[in-house]
Structure 1
Amino acid sequence: MSQLINANLQARRARLEEIIKNLHELTVRIGHEDMAKTVSELRNRIFEPFMFVIVGEVKAGKSSFINALLATGEEIAKAAPQPMTDTIQQIIYGEERREITVNPYLKKIFLPVEILREIAIVDTPGTNTIVEHHQEITEQFIPASDLIVFVFEAKNPYRQSAWDFFKYIHADWRKKAIFVLQQKDLASANELAVNLQGVADKASTEGIENPEVFAVSAKAEQEGDPASGFVALRDYIASNITGGRAPALKLNNSVVTAQTINERIAAGLELRRDQFAADTRFREDIQTTLSDQVAQSNKQVDLMVENLLMSYDKITGEKLAELRDGLSMIGLLRRSLASTFGSTPDAKTWLGDLAAGLEEELNSRLRARLNENVVDLAESIQQMVKVIDLKIRTSQTILSNDHELFSDIAERRENVLRDLQDQFNRFVSNTESFTDKDLFADRENLAPNLAAGSGMAALGVILMALSTLPVLDVTGGVLTTVGVLFAGFSTRGKRKRIVEGFATETQAGRQRLATELDDKLKSYITTLRHRIEANFSRFDEMLGREEKNLAILEGMHAEISKDLEEMLAE
């Protein structure tokens, strides 16, 4: 039966090792070096004995306690009046006594002591020591521990630094702990009773159910005094840990520790997912804002064109009526007679004046109407740009740059967002962001007007400048054709041809005005949208990478969680 149990234990150890290997790969992919080291240590210690980690403040009597517990008659753990080294001492079983220095901060001591066949003891530096690295290396050793033995001075077990360290052990790592009041020979019976109860109450307050508290005297134990308190402590160890139970307990502790680490990762990934979701909503909100603005601006263009065509139709209609009236038989006769006496221009001169009047009215009245509508369009676009700028500045930050695991991710996001703000500010301030070479082809004389403003402030000037562009020079085609017709005027038979030609050309001009103005303004609005969107290219790349990375990390985490839960269920 014992062989079967042992085989099953070995199989479960091997399975856990594979799970922790996957956990280590996850921490490496996350890029958190300290956590990766912790998981690597945990994996390395799966096959080691059940580990007691002795912690407490300097001068609490930890080293003397260890020496008394091992009962070798030797000073295994050095008891010095002052901390001299950063070294952690791991005391494990060996057929003969020897020491190995693993690194500057860790020494292994092998001893032929029977209890060490089932447990290993780790002597740590004081939690309140001033020696460099002591607390850091002690904290690195805690995650791989199986039982924390917290040693206090029997006369004063209430030092804040010791209990702060206990909170770290219990809250962060959920480690099983027992409490030892050492040097009880230095405390009175009343002090000892009060402090035993005080430590039990304090431990209960910190979340320990039914805390185990022992009072011992290493000095009395080494002197052979049966009242040293070590009998009760050894009975606890024999009843709860040794006697064949230690390997299974250690395996379970390792599963819990791996789960604790995985849960920390889960909490961090949840924040990363929330941040990604918030950034995605922010980006979608920007796109919605731009789409709504494009739709609104296009409607404004439609109204603008409609208003301009109404003015155009009114002007050309009036001139067509004037032309028909002037070319009527009575009108021509009256003009012919009047021109004989020099008081009225002849027909050719009159036709030229009519054409000139058409040109002047189209340019002045259409330009004025266009400028009125362009002001509204420019103000609408300017307001949209301001809204986007505000959205960028107030985008939600969920993952802080001091996060335990993902501070680097948060900092990179913060840098990308800061660059986006700076880039958008430069975009808004740059006049060229709002110009369009298609609108300004061969119009170099517009440069002085644009130079008067900068960036978004020049938007109105840029749009108003459309009124001087060839897109509105519709009279050119009309006047050319009408001029040819007028120049060939000699008989009344030409009248119908002139009127029809005028009507045809003004209609063609109307169509060109509508098409070119609609196309150019809507194309300009679309171009502005693309230019604004281009500012978000780096932000979009960040979102793309984050989506892929989260999918990988969350997938690895979910698989590890499932495997650990199955092991705990067993």
Structure 2
Amino acid sequence: MANLIDAGLQADRARLEEIIKRLHELTIRIGHEEMARTVSDLRNRIFEPFMFVIVGEVKAGKSSFVNALLATGEEIAKAAPQPMTDTIQQILYGEERREVTVNPYLKKVFLPVEILREIAIVDTPGTNTIVEHHQEITEQFIPASDLIVFVFEAKNPYRQSAWDFFQYIHGDWRKKTIFVLQQSDLATPQELEVNLAGVAEKARQEGIAEPRVFAVSARDEQLGQEDTGFAPLRQFIADNITGGRAPRLKLNNSILTASTINEKIADGLLLRRRQFDADTAFRTDIQTTLDEQVAQSNKQVDLMVENLLLTYDGITRAKLSELESGLSMFGLVKRSIASTFGSTPGPKEWLENLARDLETDLNEKLRARLNENVVDLAETIQQMVKTIDLKIRGSQTILSNDHEIFSSIAERRENVLRDLQDQFNRFVGKTESFTDESLFADRDSIAPNLAAGGGMAALGVILMALSTLPVVDVTGGVLTTIGVIFAGFSTRGKRKRIVQGFEREVTEGRARLAGELEEKLKVYIGTLRRRIEANFSRFDEMLDREEKNLLILEGTHREVREELDRLSGDLNV
């Protein structure tokens, strides 16, 4: 039967080792060296005996307590009036006494003591000393411990540093703990009664429903006196830990510790996922804002073109009316007679003047109307840039750079966001960000004004420069064509053809005016949008990387959790 139990235990240990191996791989993937060492140590200690870790303040009597508990008659753990070094002693079973120095801060002591066949004891330095390698306790022994024995001075068990350390043990690692009031021989019976009750109440306040508190005197125990308090403590150990129960208890404790570490990772992953979701929402908001702002700018372009066409239509209708009236039979006869006897220009000269007047009216009035609308368009585009800048500055930070597990991820994100802010500031401050050669035939003509404007302030100068272009450049040569038509006038039979030619060219010029201006401005707005988006390339790469990493980490965490739950459930069946 014992062999069957041992075989089952070995199989369960091997199963747990595989799970913890997966957990170790998860911590390595996360890149958290301290946690990876903790998990590696937990994996290595699965096959060790049930581990008692003795903690407490300096001079609380921990070493004397260990010597009395082992009852070998010799000083195994060094006790001295002054605090000893920060060396940790792990006391294990061995057929003969020997010591192995693992490193300057850890020593293993092997003893042929019967109780050590089932338990191992770790004697640690005091919790309230300034110890350079104090982390040896927390990193190597607290997470892998099976029972914490918290030793207090019987006369004063209320020092805050000790209870702060208890919060780490119980709150962070959920470790089973018993409390020992050592040096009870130095306290009066009344003091002991009050302090036993006080420690029990303090433990309940810290979350232990049924605290176990013992009062002992290591001095009296080693002197062979009665009523030293060690008998109830030894009975507790015999009833709850030894007697063949220790290996299974250790297995369950290891499952609990692995689950605790896995859930610490889960809590961090939850924050990391929330940060990723917030960053994704922020990025989506940027794109939505750009979509809306571009749509609004394009709408203003449509209104601008509509207003320009109204002006264009008014001018060309008036000139068409003048042309039709002047080319009528009565008009031509009247003009011919008048030109013969006076200074009134003849028909041909009149047509040339009409063409020049049309060009002048179009240039002056269209430029004036363009100037009125360009200011509004420039303000809309500026508002788009300012809105994006504010959104970058207001990006929500959920995962802080002092996070226990993912501080490096938070710092990396913080750096990317800071670079984004700096890059966008530089983008806004550079005139080149807002210029576009395709807008102008002669870019040099506006260069001095751009230099004076600088950065986003150059927007108005850039758009206003559109109004300095000759209308003939925008309308595609309508006036030149009209001039040619007019120049071909020679007989009355060409009147109808001239009017129709004028109407045709004006119509085509209208379409070219609308198309050219709309295309130039909308292409410009689209180009500016792409330039703004380009500032987010590193941020987008971070999001893409983070999404892939989160899926892997979350998947591995879930698998480890499910495997630990299954193993725990199988053990409790």
TM-score range, shorter chain: over 0.9
Determine if the alignment matches structure 1 residue 322 to structure 2 residue 322: yes
Q: 1:133 to 1:182 in 2, by over 3 A?
A: same
Matched residue, 1:144: 144
Aligned mates of 2:125, 2:267 — CA distance in 1 = 31
**TM-score of the pair, normalised by structure 1:** 0.98
Q: Deviations over 1:495-524 (max 9, x none)?
A: 223222222211121111111111111111
Per the TM alignment, residue 486 of structure 1 is displaced from its structure 2 partner at its CA by: 2.8
Which has the higher mean CA deviation after the structures are superposed, 17-26 or 478-487? 478-487
Q: Deviations over 1:158-191 (max 9, x none)?
A: 1111111111101011111111111111111111
Per the TM alignment, residue 490 of structure 1 is displaced from its structure 2 partner at its CA by: 2.5
Matched residue, 2:245: 245
CA contact (8 A) 1:57 1:162 kept: yes
Aligned mates of 1:28, 1:406 — CA distance in 2 = 12
Per the TM alignment, residue 226 of structure 1 is displaced from its structure 2 partner at its CA by: 2.0
Matched residue, 2:521: 521
Per the TM alignment, residue 441 of structure 1 is displaced from its structure 2 partner at its CA by: 3.6
Structure 2 residue runs of 5 or longer lacking an equivalent are none
Matched residue, 1:281: 281
Tell me how many residue pairs correspond in the alignment: 570
CA contact (8 A) 1:52 1:119 kept: yes
Matched residue, 2:492: 492
Per the TM alignment, residue 476 of structure 1 is displaced from its structure 2 partner at its CA by: 6.5
Which has the higher mean CA deviation after the structures are superposed, 197-206 or 451-460? 451-460
| Secondary structure of 2:102's aligned partner | strand
Aligned mates of 2:263, 2:406 — CA distance in 1 = 14
Which has the higher mean CA deviation after the structures are superposed, 183-192 or 115-124? 183-192
Per the TM alignment, residue 4 of structure 1 is displaced from its structure 2 partner at its CA by: 1.1
Matched residue, 1:188: 188
| Secondary structure of 2:55's aligned partner | strand
Matched residue, 2:64: 64
Look up the equivalent residue of 1:164 and give its one-letter code: D
Which has the higher mean CA deviation after the structures are superposed, 514-523 or 340-349? 340-349
Q: Deviations over 1:60-99 (max 9, x none)?
A: 1111111111111111101122233221100000001111
Aligned mates of 1:299, 1:44 — CA distance in 2 = 69
CA contact (8 A) 1:105 1:137 kept: no
Look up the equivalent residue of 1:62 and give its one-letter code: K
Which has the higher mean CA deviation after the structures are superposed, 168-177 or 494-503? 494-503
Per the TM alignment, residue 406 of structure 1 is displaced from its structure 2 partner at its CA by: 0.7
Matched residue, 1:161: 161
Aligned mates of 2:407, 2:19 — CA distance in 1 = 26
CA contact (8 A) 1:83 1:131 kept: no
Which has the higher mean CA deviation after the structures are superposed, 86-95 or 76-85? 76-85
Matched residue, 1:395: 395
Per the TM alignment, residue 471 of structure 1 is displaced from its structure 2 partner at its CA by: 6.8
CA contact (8 A) 1:290 1:529 kept: yes
Matched residue, 2:356: 356
Matched residue, 1:9: 9
Aligned mates of 1:221, 1:334 — CA distance in 2 = 141
Per the TM alignment, residue 478 of structure 1 is displaced from its structure 2 partner at its CA by: 2.6
Aligned mates of 1:170, 1:471 — CA distance in 2 = 82
Aligned ranges 1:462-501 → 2 under 5 Å:
462-469=462-469, 473-474=473-474, 477-501=477-501
Per the TM alignment, residue 136 of structure 1 is displaced from its structure 2 partner at its CA by: 4.8
Which has the higher mean CA deviation after the structures are superposed, 370-379 or 132-141? 132-141
Determine if the alignment matches structure 1 residue 51 to structure 2 residue 42: no
Matched residue, 2:84: 84
| Secondary structure of 1:143's aligned partner | coil
Look up the equivalent residue of 1:4 and give its one-letter code: L
Q: Deviations over 1:265-285 (max 9, x none)?
A: 000000000000011111111
CA contact (8 A) 2:363 2:470 kept: no
Q: Deviations over 1:328-386 (max 9, x none)?
A: 22111111111112321122221111111000000011111122122221111111211
**TM-score of the pair, normalised by structure 2:** 0.97
Look up the equivalent residue of 2:150 and give its one-letter code: F
Aligned ranges 1:428-467 → 2 under 5 Å:
428-467=428-467
Aligned mates of 1:519, 1:157 — CA distance in 2 = 82
CA contact (8 A) 2:63 2:78 kept: yes
Moved over 4 A (4+): none
Determine if the alignment matches structure 1 residue 530 to structure 2 residue 501: no
Which has the higher mean CA deviation after the structures are superposed, 433-442 or 265-274? 433-442
CA contact (8 A) 1:471 1:517 kept: no
Which has the higher mean CA deviation after the structures are superposed, 275-284 or 304-313? 304-313
Structure 1 residue runs of 5 or longer lacking an equivalent are none
Per the TM alignment, residue 475 of structure 1 is displaced from its structure 2 partner at its CA by: 6.1
Q: Deviations over 1:391-433 (max 9, x none)?
A: 1111111111111011111111111111111111111111111
Aligned mates of 2:216, 2:207 — CA distance in 1 = 24
Q: Deviations over 1:283-320 (max 9, x none)?
A: 11111111111211222222221221121111111111
Q: 1:476 to 1:39 in 2, by over 3 A?
A: closer
Aligned mates of 2:302, 2:131 — CA distance in 1 = 78
